[in-house]
Amino acid sequence: MNNLLYIILMGAPKEGENPIMSFLPLVAIIIVFYFFMIRPQVKRQKELKNFRSALEKGDKVITTGGIYGKISDIKDDGTLLVEIDNNVRIKVDINSVVKDSADLQKK
């Protein structure tokens, strides 16, 4: 943070120096943050949204709590009935589903 403050408070550029060149390091930092932090996170969120919208009855899934199960019903209110054992079903929010258990078997 001190380095960023130093760059901002550097003062007026020297005579004959282009004022845009003094802001070039700040612009480079912003570009690096975008390509290495913001863009990949947006991509992951988009993939997760597409995954959740493509869930179907019978898919094997894993919840954020680590529960493995198979989808037995999908409700319109954004909840799923997940069968975790014979005749044992739990109701979970669709946002708690993070993975398809078939993905683990591929690796």
pLDDT band at 104 (very low <50, low <70, confident <90, very high): low
Q: Which residues pair with 48 in a beta bridge?
A: none
Q: Would you place residue 69 in the very low, low, confident or very high pLDDT band (cuts 50, 70, 90)?
A: very high
Q: Is the pLDDT confidence value at 62 over 60?
A: yes
With b meaning 16 or more CB within 10 Å and e meaning fewer, what string describes 43-62? Answer: eeeeeeeebbeeeeeebbbb
Q: What are the pLDDT digits (tens) for 5-48?
A: 666 666 555 666 677 777 888 889 999 999 999 999 999 999 99
pTM, 2 dp: 0.65
For position 24, what pLDDT does the model report? 87
